[in-house]
Structure 1
Amino acid sequence: MLGLPRRWLRQLTYLIGFLIVAIILLIVANSSNVIKLQDYIPTSLTPSFFQPSADSYIVDISINNCFAYNSGNKKCGIPGDSEGKYGKIPEDSSKWIKLDKDLLLGSSWIKKQFLSYKTVKSSVFLGAFEEDSDSNEKRDNNKITEKLVIIDIAISNPSQDSKIKGNEKLKLPKYIIDEFHSGKVFDDDAHKNLIDNDNDIKPIKIDLEKDKQNSASTKLSEAAKQKEFEENIQPQNPSKSDGSIEENADGDIVSENQEDGDIKSSKRSVETSRHELERMLYVPTKEDLAKDGWVYKSNGIWLRYGKVQANAVTGIDILFGEDAVDPRPNWNLIKDGPLRDIATQPDKKAYLTVRKGDKVNYKQAKYSPVLKINKNGKFKILQVADLHFSTGVGKCRDPVPSSSKKGCEADPRTLKFLEKVLELEKPDLVVLSGDQIFGETAPDSETALFKALHPFVSRKIPFAVTLGNHDHEGSLTKSEMMSLAASLPYSLAQLGPEDIDGFGNYVLTVEGPASHNPALSLFFLDTHAYSQNPKVTPGYDWIKENQLKWVEETHANMKKAIDAYTHIHLSMAFFHIPIPEYRNLHQPFIGEQKEGITAPRYNTGARSILNKVGVKVVSVGHDHCNDYCLLDIANKDSEEENKMWLCYGGGSGEGGYGGYGGYIRRLRIYEIDSNNAEIKSWKRTEQEPDQIVDTQILVTDGKVVNF
């Protein structure tokens, strides 16, 4: 730098100054939503101080009833435009958003109950007010000068909250008390305040005659109770203003007898050390709550208002059941208590979940890892078939042993088994092959699906999803179910091409250990549900011709990259309903076949097309009590002879049927060895998850292995 000409140094100084000014302007413009850097720079590359503010903020919440016959009306159950905080704001700046979930879960024939929240665009809080469409006059800005938004939410649980000393009357949510308490600086003044407000300080003795002592203490107690009742708040610091209790300069308690006017003083006989206090939580008063921005709404919901900030509440949702979970990293499920006065079933109570800050893009690299064979040439896949999760804990169907049926909760028991296998196997990818939820027991499909996918999201394990015939029988359609699954962190699921039948037709590739070329291709197909023409072809639906054409075209587009892979490329396929060739049981198989094969009766030639694109192993679910791998040989003893393994994952969920011949729930694992172009498989059962069952090598050197 010292050796540079002055002219260069001057120009470099100008450049640095220009960059600093430009960065400051970008920060201001981005925070004011003048520009949105996320539209130009990936979120993963955007510095934290450049993170965009929310497009809108939530300013109010309302729960309203709606007559069942009118529930199809989008406005039914939504407050009027002029209702809620700030009143009426031009429609394009503010609106009520109704969660399309009946809080009663259809339990009432007369009414439905909906939660709505009111949003206001961020530009409103920045002063960009628009003209009122009715009067064409500039909107009066007085009502919104405070510019407050919801920054926190708490839910009360009276039966638990009332157990907190000093909270018996207000029954404030413990969350508010903890939050208020954590924000206090505990110095000597705060310590004194805690002492004075502690109702349970008993080591205070008054040196009066016994009868006057009893009388005075009784009057003190009654006065304190009367004051607490009238104000409905935690008793405040004793003061002379009420004419009954004061403390002199020496720390004496002075009592005034209202009957005879005599005043007596007494000494504290023991020291009230901060270490001897039984309660160290300060219960805020109504005034404290107001200063801190807390406001009670209804149904146990408390809202905290504050100035617009990055971590303000920007999303609200409802999940059901004590076992509900929210796998989304920036969402918080409030489990302190369910919403009150909601007439739902005991195991399906409504819980609030909230998002703070802006919506996160889960497709960024942090949440969407690239699949890759590890340095040892291995890649492990766990297939999870037929979880059959419910809204609420669900009931066990045909558990083994049968003696365990009483009081058996299906979903918690299934999760315990699944999580045990995840710990043992530590898979690189999880494939859910359909019927993640059992529609008829899942009036809120989102709750059930979140439970099914949470184990993988929480462990940061990539997962893929195909749909079964029961996934769309709850509150969400097939398109909505696949979209929801695809939207979550670590999900590699895709909705698939719009012009192809079904939802969830896609392919994933796993890179080789030393290159980006695909070492393994995984095809996922939607096998739909029931036959569209049951009178002609009863039973289940089939893979459509345009899906198979898409498979061929996709493989052709991948061929150049596949050919660039220096080892032998392998392919597998996963879907829910088996293809007709699964019925070829005259051929060798390993595993159990304890129920009929419910494949479609119409054959579109899916096996032939899959063989054409190199698929050596197909794995499905659907038939819970079958878990075999069948070696299917087509065109035997001819030049076109080809072999393919047709495998079942085996049912894993206690919420689905089972029990044929004492069938035990199980999970299937596949291990790919790219060094030997090998695919190996085994299973683990709920009864003995530590034991490996039916280990078999399916493919070696890229070729299907004979028995």
Structure 2
Amino acid sequence: MIGLPRLWVRQLGYLCVFFVLAVVLLIVANSQQIIKIQDYIPSSLTPTFFQPAADHYIIDIVIRNCYGYKSKLPGCGKPVDSEGELGYLGMYGEWTKVDKDLSLGSGWVKQQYLSYKMLKADVSDTELNKVAGKDATSTINRRVILDLTVANPSKDAKIKGNERSKYPAKIIKEYNSNKVAGESDIEFLKEQGKKEHGAVTEALTVDKDKAASRKISELNAKLHKESQRKQQGDKPTKEFEEDISPQDPEAGSKEVHAEANPEDELKAAEAKAEKKLEKEEIEKEEKEQKKQSEEAQKAQKEQFEQEQTQKEKQEQNEKRVLNKPLDKRVVEESRHGLNSVVYIPSKEDVKNSGWVEKSNGIWVKYGAPRHNAVTAIDILFGEDAVEPRPNWELVDSPLTGTATQSDLPAYLTYRKGPKADYRIKEYQPVLKVNKNGKFKILQVADLHFSTGYGKCRDPSPASTTKGCQADPRTLKFLGRVLDIEKPDFVILTGDQIFGDAAPDAETAVFKALYPFIKRKIPYAVTMGNHDDEGSLSRNEIMSLSANLPFSKAELGPEDIQGVGNYYLTVEGPASHNPALSLYFLDTHKYSSNPKITPGYDWIKENQLKWLEATAASLKKSIAAYTHIHLSMAFFHIPLPEYRNLKQPFIGENREGVTAPRYNSNARSVLSDIGVKVVSVGHDHCNDYCLQDFQKKDGVTESKMWLCYGGGSGEGGYGGYGGYIRRLRVFDIDTQNGEIKTWKRAENDPDKEIDRQTIVQGGEVVNFA
């Protein structure tokens, strides 16, 4: 501050005081949730002290069996209140059971459930002592679960040095991350290198000795053979002459002439062979002596090293220095040749680090309460399970010792810290057309995902049936189209999951929505007739889908029939006025009066009134939009008007239209509120866009495009003439009031199918 005017110094002091006060006020306001700082700063950048603290911690975890008729009781498989860490907690904590049978219903005699014990974060030791009936000043060993993992015995045993302990890889990795490499590690690597080099040299020497012995044996065999030829009066073979030709220094330059006595030649060859054998025997003895000497030196060196290691171990136990070399360390080989030392912790080391082994392969790490402690646990099923929630982590090893189906292993997933709010700006980008007025929608119809890989139904071509896994194949196709089209928005029009094949519906829903969450693409969801045929109700499925990152889905008004009746608007490029209105409806399932009106249910009257009221509320903001406003509607089951196949259409009609038998006049209401395009799913092998004319007294009153998305999932039926799964794209130009559409098929996703302009200047384009 030297040399600065006093006025500047005073103003700088005021500024610092003001800044400190502002930070304090902000922290207080955030803690009281008056201001949510995470609404303005991404959670990854939000300082810890600004993030809301968790209101509870998890302090214990257990898996219990539930037998026979008791499985119907809500408390079956759940520990009693006095069990586990800290005993009875009263109103300050309790056991919570994850309501998922680990056997997924495959166990006839028993079911298995995982439960975790929670403790309120703000409870004091005095209150806990009071509940436990202890002295108010008693010390409480308050420890919470900070991390968890699951052992995989077959994989963990493959870690060098971990064959007997079989500690989870995560524990070994964490233990080594706290180590600092020292000079002793470098020396250890050098010694390991020397040992490996010595072993290679010894192997080469043995191989060389074996080769020499083999050569001598071959020569003896030749001599014996030629001796027999001599006795029979035959001349020596050419090969034998080459073997006995004087090529060594002792032979000089003397040549073997053809007229030489064969008997003398044979004697000379025998003498030469004997001399060579004597020489090789001497060399062999020298090598043997040298080898014995080296082995003796090696044994002495190993004994010395063992004594030194024992001495070092003793010193470590006395001094307990963290970064001293341990008694058990191994070399981790790198494919790049950069080897490193890996420490394998002892039982005492594992215990001191806070890790405790529970049942079924579960390990938990205990420690003092902190902001990022474990606060929630869930279970997903199948080797292809994914975790789409950003602040959750899926453990990559399945639980052991459970009665689950072999192809549907159970996996733990857990959350650290407080529950994230996925409705904040970080996870909820505003739907807005780009500066050129363009907006692209990808419709995804009938994924039919399962718990696990899923079974392919009617895969096409038929040659792909063998080894076909439905969900991975569908995800590959979907991912390819997402990467090609790069849509601004995705709309899923029902049957995201195939309920009968989804004993854990949550796992299937996560798989269906993960591709969009991973790419940070906003999406909307409507319900189909199969979604709720698994483990979750219709309301639960919609609630789960609506409360994930980048989801624009809503449960809709409670007083309107169905789940998922809502609307969304897409803002213009330079204003907040709606350039595009999107309506979503629940088309329910099957008729509630099948004897009177068999087949599928229909859009109800109060849904239609809600549509009219919603459109009326948007009129003012739509009028303020300076370009042509467009409206579209999406749902699952087609309208009865989809059967009007005498009218022009583009695309394929391979199966019968399974629309409701009863017509509730939804098509007219949609037309009245300005909807020009309706697109549905449900009939997998229909992918046409039909231009529907509605006439009165012979005069056309309205035109509307009625489109199908086409079935996209291998888990749903196909089978109509080798139908290939497909997806539909809507390319919207709000500057010109134009909508174009096309499809992409699994067998050739790079190719557009049936590209057509269906709306232009805000009006339905006449069929060309």
User: What TM-score do the two structures reach when normalised by structure 1?
Assistant: 0.85
State the AA in 2 paired with 1:281.
V
- Mapped to 2, the partners of 1:25 and 1:372 lie a distance apart of 35
- Greater shift, 501-510 or 171-180, is seen at 171-180
Shift of 1:199: 14
**Structure-2 change in CA distance of 1:294 and 1:669 (3 Å):** same
Aligned to 1:73: 73
**Structure-2 change in CA distance of 1:534 and 1:59 (3 Å):** same
- Mapped to 1, the partners of 2:337 and 2:557 lie a distance apart of 69
- Mapped to 2, the partners of 1:77 and 1:217 lie a distance apart of 59
State the AA in 2 paired with 1:382.
L
Shift of 1:447: 0.4
- Listed one character per residue, the Cα deviations across residues 291-340 of structure 1 (whole Å, up to 9, x for unaligned) are 111111111111111222222211211111111101111111111x1111
Does structure 1 residue 321 correspond to structure 2 residue 319? no
- Mapped to 1, the partners of 2:185 and 2:119 lie a distance apart of 39
User: Which of 229, 238, 242 is equivalent to 2:310?
Assistant: 238
State the AA in 1 paired with 2:394.
L
**Structure-2 change in CA distance of 1:355 and 1:193 (3 Å):** farther
Asked if the contact 2:88–2:132 (Cα under 8 Å) also holds between the matched residues in 1, the reply is: no
Shift of 1:407: 1.4
- Mapped to 1, the partners of 2:195 and 2:122 lie a distance apart of 51
State the AA in 2 paired with 1:17.
V
> Secondary structure in 2 aligned to 1:71?
helix
**Structure-2 change in CA distance of 1:16 and 1:186 (3 Å):** closer
**Structure-2 change in CA distance of 1:588 and 1:303 (3 Å):** same
Shift of 1:344: 1.7
**Structure-2 change in CA distance of 1:280 and 1:602 (3 Å):** same
State the AA in 2 paired with 1:52.
P
- Listed one character per residue, the Cα deviations across residues 227-282 of structure 1 (whole Å, up to 9, x for unaligned) are xxxxxxxx99423999xxxxxxxxxxxxxxxxxxxxxxxxxxxxxx9999966211
Aligned to 1:295: 356
Shift of 1:402: 1.0
Larger radius of gyration between Structure 1 and Structure 2? 2
- Mapped to 2, the partners of 1:236 and 1:454 lie a distance apart of 55
Asked if the contact 1:320–1:351 (Cα under 8 Å) also holds between the matched residues in 2, the reply is: yes
Shift of 1:514: 1.5
Residue correspondence of structure 1 range 37-52 to structure 2 within 5 A: 37-45=32-40, 47-48=46-47, 49-52=49-52
Aligned to 1:232: none
**Structure-2 change in CA distance of 1:38 and 1:197 (3 Å):** farther
User: Which of 541, 544, 548 is equivalent to 2:604?
Assistant: 544
Does structure 1 residue 391 correspond to structure 2 residue 451? yes
User: Which of 678, 682, 689 is equivalent to 1:618?
Assistant: 678
Aligned to 1:110: 109
- Greater shift, 459-468 or 280-289, is seen at 280-289
> Secondary structure in 2 aligned to 1:536?
coil
Asked if the contact 2:743–2:755 (Cα under 8 Å) also holds between the matched residues in 1, the reply is: yes
Shift of 1:45: 3.0
- Greater shift, 586-595 or 42-51, is seen at 42-51
> Secondary structure in 2 aligned to 1:436?
coil
Aligned to 1:498: 558
Shift of 1:679: 0.8
Residue correspondence of structure 1 range 241-390 to structure 2 within 5 A: 280-335=341-396, 337-390=397-450
Greater fraction helix:
2
State the AA in 2 paired with 1:332.
E
- Mapped to 2, the partners of 1:633 and 1:622 lie a distance apart of 23
Aligned to 1:129: 127
- Mapped to 2, the partners of 1:317 and 1:486 lie a distance apart of 18
- Listed one character per residue, the Cα deviations across residues 563-622 of structure 1 (whole Å, up to 9, x for unaligned) are 111111110000000111111111111111111111111111100110010000000000
Asked if the contact 2:427–2:549 (Cα under 8 Å) also holds between the matched residues in 1, the reply is: yes
User: Which of 164, 167, 174 is equivalent to 1:172?
Assistant: 167
User: Which of 725, 732, 735 is equivalent to 1:675?
Assistant: 735
User: Which of 529, 546, 553 is equivalent to 1:486?
Assistant: 546
Aligned to 2:93: 94
User: Which of 476, 479, 498 is equivalent to 1:438?
Assistant: 498
State the AA in 1 paired with 2:53.
S
- Listed one character per residue, the Cα deviations across residues 161-188 of structure 1 (whole Å, up to 9, x for unaligned) are 1111110001111121112112211012
Structure 1: where are the runs of 5+ without partners?
A: 225-234, 243-272
Shift of 1:22: 6.9
Aligned to 1:696: 756
- Listed one character per residue, the Cα deviations across residues 411-452 of structure 1 (whole Å, up to 9, x for unaligned) are 000001000000110000000000000000000001001000
- Listed one character per residue, the Cα deviations across residues 74-115 of structure 1 (whole Å, up to 9, x for unaligned) are 22111121211222222x211111111111000012211111
- Mapped to 2, the partners of 1:61 and 1:361 lie a distance apart of 26
Asked if the contact 1:543–1:604 (Cα under 8 Å) also holds between the matched residues in 2, the reply is: yes
- Mapped to 1, the partners of 2:602 and 2:167 lie a distance apart of 57
Asked if the contact 1:194–1:282 (Cα under 8 Å) also holds between the matched residues in 2, the reply is: no
Does structure 1 residue 402 correspond to structure 2 residue 462? yes
**Structure-2 change in CA distance of 1:278 and 1:12 (3 Å):** closer
Identity %: 59
CA root-mean-square deviation: 3.3
**Structure-2 change in CA distance of 1:200 and 1:85 (3 Å):** farther
**Structure-2 change in CA distance of 1:563 and 1:240 (3 Å):** closer
Aligned to 1:627: 687
- Mapped to 2, the partners of 1:78 and 1:10 lie a distance apart of 65
Does structure 1 residue 477 correspond to structure 2 residue 534? no
How many equivalent pairs are there? 651
Shift of 1:41: 2.8
- Mapped to 1, the partners of 2:612 and 2:745 lie a distance apart of 36
Shift of 1:636: 5.5
**Structure-2 change in CA distance of 1:545 and 1:277 (3 Å):** closer
**Structure-2 change in CA distance of 1:636 and 1:4 (3 Å):** farther
**Structure-2 change in CA distance of 1:542 and 1:217 (3 Å):** farther
Aligned to 1:60: 60
**Structure-2 change in CA distance of 1:128 and 1:628 (3 Å):** farther
Structure 2: where are the runs of 5+ without partners?
A: 203-288, 315-332
